[in-house]
Amino acid sequence: MTTAECLAYVRSEWGQTAANAGGVLDTEIVGFLNMRQTELCADSDVLVSAWTATTVAGQQQYSVPPEYTSVEAIHLYQITGGLGQYWLKKVDITDLDPRLATGNPIKFARWGLNVSGSNSPAFWVDPIPTAATVATNDLRCYGRQTPQTMVSGAQGPEVRLRWQYAICHGALASVFRRLASGKSEYWGASDRAEAIWQKDKAEAQAQELLDVYKPGDARDSVGYRFGW
Summarize pLDDT for 91-146 with one digit per residue, the tens. 999 999 999 999 999 999 999 998 888 889 999 999 999 999 999 999 999 999 99
> In this structure, are residues 111 and 92 in contact, taking their beta carbons and an 8 Å threshold?
no
Which contacts qualify for 12-15: CB closer than 8 Å, 24 or more apart?
13/168, 13/169, 13/172, 14/172, 14/175, 14/176
> In this structure, are residues 69 and 41 in contact, taking their beta carbons and an 8 Å threshold?
yes
Q: Amino acid letter at 177?
A: R
Residue 89 covered by a domain: yes
Residue 36 covered by a domain: yes
**pLDDT tens digits, 182-228:** 888 899 999 999 999 999 999 999 988 777 776 666 555 555 554 44
Mean pLDDT of 54-61: 97
DSSP E strand stretches across 59-185: 61-63, 73-77, 85-87, 89-91, 107-115, 118-126, 139-144
Asked which of 87, 112, 144 is the last residue of a domain, the reply is: 144
Report the SS3 class of residue 5.
Answer: helix
Residue 206 is part of which domain span? Answer: 3-45+148-213
Cis-peptide into 127, omega within 30 deg: yes
Residue 223 covered by a domain: no
Residue 218 covered by a domain: no
226 or 79: whose pLDDT is higher? 79
Q: Is 106 found in the same domain as 125?
A: yes
Residue 224 covered by a domain: no
Asked which of 144, 168, 203 is the last residue of a domain, the reply is: 144
Residue 219 covered by a domain: no
pLDDT at 118: 87
The DSSP code for 219 is B
Is residue 32's pLDDT more than 90?
yes
Q: Is 108 found in the same domain as 58?
A: yes
Give the number of domains in the chain.
Answer: 2
Q: Is the pTM of this model over 0.75?
A: yes
Residue 206 covered by a domain: yes
Asked which of 144, 171, 205 is the last residue of a domain, the reply is: 144
Sign of the four-CA dihedral 127, 132, 133, 138: positive
